[in-house]
Structures are given as structure tokens and as C-alpha cells.
Structure 1
Amino acid sequence: MDSYTYRSNGLAALLATSAVFLGLQLYLNFPLTRILDKGLPIMSASIITAVVLSIGLYVKAIRTKAMRSEYGQTGSHVIDLFAGAETNARIGPLDIKTAVIRASLISAIIYNSLLIYREAQGKELDQISINVALAAALQIIYCLDFVVFESTLLSSFTVNHDGTGLWLILYSALFPFWITLIPKYLFLSKSAHNVWVASAAGLLFTIGYLIHRISNYQKAAFKRNSSSVSSADVIHSRSSSLFKGGLWGKVRHPNYLGALLVYTSWVLLALGSAPLHWIPFAILIAVVIEVLVQVSRVETRCQDRHASAWNVYSSQVKQRLIPKVF
């Protein structure tokens, strides 16, 4: 596998982007909340950009014979375009995959911030919807985690193995729009204050976020310096080693469990605070399917790469996501 150098400057990019938006508001008197009303044209432009960029990267990969993605070498132009011909497609020093993921996260943070601003605009504190503000704030916290701890993202399955194709780029382009459907739905439905639902959603989010953050920290620490980990928490084989300590000794994919709980907390907030609608259900179903598919892909990859070590790990940690259940 090729070795690349990355700059983990996601937080700097977020601060710079925020400064630009604040400058537009303060010095040019540009109504930033108008962006919230232009969701469809902005999303359409994002889709077109994603398709054009994907095609451009695929053509570049063919011309430079840079067909390095294990998922994008089927010989079918449609499948290879969709999966991505290169794992880490670059234009000069710019890594396209990490750039689009970063842009996606920053866009979601900006969008949610504008939603909170619109909800609070011209209102007294007791008039602001707790549900809208909480849903948007929780999404900001979750997205901000990936921006602040961007270095841990570089060891993820997505960055290291997924191709930079239409699927990944289009998913990143649409992420800020579908993830913010819940706070926007709560805003448009004018949901009443519900402290109990908000408290339950906040608690579930906190549990999920802590599982997500701790598991990612533990795995990153192991990859950064495996000698710092107790030998009892490592499964060794002839060519590889696997970490089985901490939360990774409870379930095989605690990071995905944490993410699933986080998304569920947002859905709970929507279902318990506003009239029943298909949007929260659709989001939850989509997230569950996405997590299950990703778990399957990661396990297949681990079986191929780690073989005997993975077999030992699977026999010791039997549950994939939920202790004593699945």
C-alpha cells in the first residue's frame, strides 16, 4: 500500500470557513439564514459537482493507470466509477477523499449553526425550542468530533480501503442535507417543548458519543504505539496483531455501536417531540442498514488480512455490536 502524508488541519479549515461566513454577515450584511431556504438548489449543485468530480477522477485513474482500489478493478466502467478506481485519489498534494469528507462535516456544522441562529432570532430565551436547539447542537458536537480528532479518521476503514468513487463523493455531498433533516423537521413542525424527551435523547447521545470517542481513542493509541498496550490486550499472529482491550474486548465494533446510539438519539428526539412522520423512521432504517453493511465489509476485510488472529478474536469477542445480543 502506498504511503501518503496528510495535514490534519480540519479545525483550522472550520475556523476559516466560519470567519468567512461571519465576515459576510457583519461587513456585507448578507443574510446567512437565507442559505437554509436554498437547500434544494445547493443540494442539486452538490450532486452535479460530485458526479463531475467522480468522472474526472475515474478518467484520470485510467489515463495514469492508477487503478489501485481493490473494489474498483472489476472491469465494469459503471461499477468501477461507482466504487472508485483509486483508494487515495490526489490532485497534486490534495487528497480528494479527506477533502470531501472534511467539507461535508464542516457544511453540516455550519448548517446546524445557522438553524440554531434562525430559531433564536428575535426570540426570548424561553421561546426558543429546546428540541430544535438540542438536535442541532448534538449534531454539531458529533461532526466537530471528526474535525477536531481528524487524525484518528485517517486510520478508518473508509480512508484506508474505500475507493474515491461516485458512492463516497456523492454520500459526502449529500451528508449535510440528510443529516440535518431531523433538526429542520423539528424547526418546521414547531414542536412543543418536551424536557423529558430532550433529557432522554441527551443521555442516549452522551452514552453513544462516549463509546464512539473512547473506542476510537483506544484503537488510535494502539495503532500509534502498540508497545504501550498490555500484551494481554493484543492477539498476535505471524504477520499481524489485533487489539482486544478496552471496549474492543466487549464487542468487535464499538465505534459503530456508538455511532448507532448517537443517530438513534436524534431520531428519538424527533419522534418524541413532533407529530409522527416518515423522515425520522427513514433515517433510522438507513443508518441501521449502513452500519450493518459496514460491519460486514470490515469483518470480511479483517478475515482476509488477519486470518488466524481474526479467528481467535472472533472466538473471544463473539458479539459484533451489542453485548450478549448481536
Structure 2
Amino acid sequence: MGIDLKFFFVRAGMMGWLIINLSVLAKSVQDGSLSQSMILYQLFCAFYILDYFVHEEYMTSTWDIIAERHIVRMLWVMASLCDCLQFESIDECFPCFMGWWLLNNKVELTTAAVIANGFVFLIGYLVFRGANKQKHIFKQNPKAPIWGKPPKVIGGKLLASGYWGIARHSNYLGDLLLALSFSLPCGLSSLIPYFYPIYLFILLVWRERRDEARCAEKYKDIWAEYCRLVPWRIFPYLY
């Protein structure tokens, strides 16, 4: 049929997320409860979603597209959108926790908190987008420079330069920082808005373990050498 089901469901999820967020924003304006926190959350999410479509080609080199099964992606999108559309209760709407929370709980942030939140988002974006871009470019042209220097390649197959020379799954670190930045506008009074970054942390650690096992089996000694040169899995100097 010429349809890539994985990209179809990713796009559906992204567009659905944006539409739901805009609906929450409209409700906030209608109720006269629009807050600085809501604006910050909406800006971060809108930028992230639109940026995905601009750089969608980089996703062709990620685990989601290469190894994740169609049914996993389909169920994730359906569950996410159905929960958001059918329930008004925050605790039943996991992908929209932050928007629903801010709609029902007005949070005022200090200038320092706004700057710190923006910094977390920026670092997360640079690491996430940069790591995926470097991996994609390397697969297209293994000799392409990374950060202005010739790439360090192990066994002619594994990139050990740039973000991939800092941690073996540095893109996961960026993804986690982005998830955290979506929750930080909700303040620290409750753990409910932090369900998404907590859930994502568990998911990515589980995925990282699966990926490590798959790579160890596929690349054998080459992977062992890469692990020796880059000992950190996701968090440099921590894990």
C-alpha cells in the first residue's frame, strides 16, 4: 500500500497531542485562567511537536522506527488519545497530565524558575535532536565530521564521537530532560504532573537494556570495545 504504519501512528500521536493541547489552551483562555505556567508548557510542547515534523527524517535511525513493533506503537497512540479525549480526570489521562493539571491548578512561577525550566528544555532539546542527527548523518555518510572533527568509529560500524562518545544512549538523556521540562511548569506541589517523565524513565531504561543485549549479540567484540570506551549508558558519570 506504500504506507509506513510506524510513521503513520507517530504522526497521528503528534498531531493528536497538539490538537488536545490547543483545546486545553482554548479552555484556559475561555475560563480566564490562563497562566504563565500554561503558556510555558504550551510553547515547549508546540515547539517539540513542530520540530519533529521538520526533522522527521532523523527518526528513521531511531529504535522506535527500526526495532519497535507496529502493535506497540499503535496501542500507545490509541491509548494516549482515547484517554485524553474521554476523561476529564487528571489521573486517567497520562499523556496530557501537565495540560489538565495546569487547567485545574493555577501555578505561578518565579523568574528564576522560568529560566531554569527553559534551560532544562534547551539542554534536553540540543542533546536529543543533536544525538539523533549525528546518528542519522553517520549512517548516511560514516566519514562526515562530528562537531567539526573526523568521527571516531569502532570496527567501522559504531560511532563513538559527539554525543555518542559521551553516553551510549545519549538521545535517551535528551528525551528525559525534555519530558521533565514539560512537567516543571506545574511546580513541585504534586507528583501527578511528573507521571510522564517517571514513566518515560522506566520505559527508556527497559528499552536501553533490550538494546544493549541486542547490540552485544549483533556486534560482539566491537560492542565490548565501544562499552569500554564509552562506559556510561544514559547519564554520564552516573549510569
TM over 0.5: yes
Instruction: For residue 143 of structure 2, give the secondary structure of its aligned residue in structure 1.
Output: helix
Which one-letter code corresponds to 2:208 in the other structure? V
Partner of 1:144: 50
Partner of 2:20: 111
Partner of 1:100: 9
Within 5 Å, which residues of 2 pair with 1:129-278? 129-165=35-71, 167-176=72-81, 177=84, 178-229=94-145, 233-236=152-155, 241-272=157-188, 276-278=189-191
Which one-letter code corresponds to 2:204 in the other structure? V
| Deviation for aligned residue 1:182 | 0.5
Which one-letter code corresponds to 1:252 in the other structure? R
Partner Cα separation in structure 1 for residue 207 and residue 36 of structure 2: 33
Name the TM-score, length of structure 1 as normaliser: 0.64
Which one-letter code corresponds to 2:152 in the other structure? D
Partner Cα separation in structure 2 for residue 194 and residue 289 of structure 1: 30
* Contact 2:128 2:173 survives alignment (8 Å): yes
Partner of 1:285: 198
Larger mean Cα displacement after TM superposition, 168-177 or 242-251: 168-177
Partner Cα separation in structure 1 for residue 102 and residue 69 of structure 2: 35
Residues 34-64 of structure 1: per-residue CA shift (max 9 Å, x gap): xxxxxxxxxxxxxxxxxxxxxxxxxxxxxxx
Partner of 2:87: none
Residues 1-54 of structure 1: per-residue CA shift (max 9 Å, x gap): xxxxxxxxxxxxxxxxxxxxxxxxxxxxxxxxxxxxxxxxxxxxxxxxxxxxxx
Partner Cα separation in structure 2 for residue 193 and residue 322 of structure 1: 28
Partner Cα separation in structure 2 for residue 322 and residue 278 of structure 1: 22
* Contact 1:234 1:243 survives alignment (8 Å): yes
Name the TM-score, length of structure 2 as normaliser: 0.86
| Deviation for aligned residue 1:102 | 0.8
Which one-letter code corresponds to 1:224 in the other structure? Q
* Contact 2:125 2:174 survives alignment (8 Å): yes
More RCO (CA 8 Å, sep 6+): 2
| Deviation for aligned residue 1:304 | 1.6
Partner Cα separation in structure 2 for residue 137 and residue 131 of structure 1: 10
Instruction: For residue 265 of structure 1, give the secondary structure of its aligned residue in structure 2.
Output: helix
Rate the CA distance shift 1:138–1:251 in 2: closer, same or farther, 3 A.
Answer: same
Which structure's CA Rg is the greater one? 1
Listed as ranges, the gaps of 5+ residues in structure 1 are 1-91
| Deviation for aligned residue 1:122 | 8.0
Partner Cα separation in structure 1 for residue 79 and residue 39 of structure 2: 22
Which one-letter code corresponds to 1:216 in the other structure? N
Listed as ranges, the gaps of 5+ residues in structure 2 are 85-93
* Contact 1:267 1:280 survives alignment (8 Å): yes
| Deviation for aligned residue 1:231 | 5.7
Rate the CA distance shift 1:184–1:122 in 2: closer, same or farther, 3 A.
Answer: closer
Counterpart selection for 1:310 from 199, 223, 239 = 223
Instruction: For residue 154 of structure 2, give the secondary structure of its aligned residue in structure 1.
Output: strand
Partner Cα separation in structure 1 for residue 162 and residue 109 of structure 2: 38
CA RMSD across the alignment: 2.0
Which one-letter code corresponds to 1:279 in the other structure? I
Residues 132-154 of structure 1: per-residue CA shift (max 9 Å, x gap): 11112211222222222111111
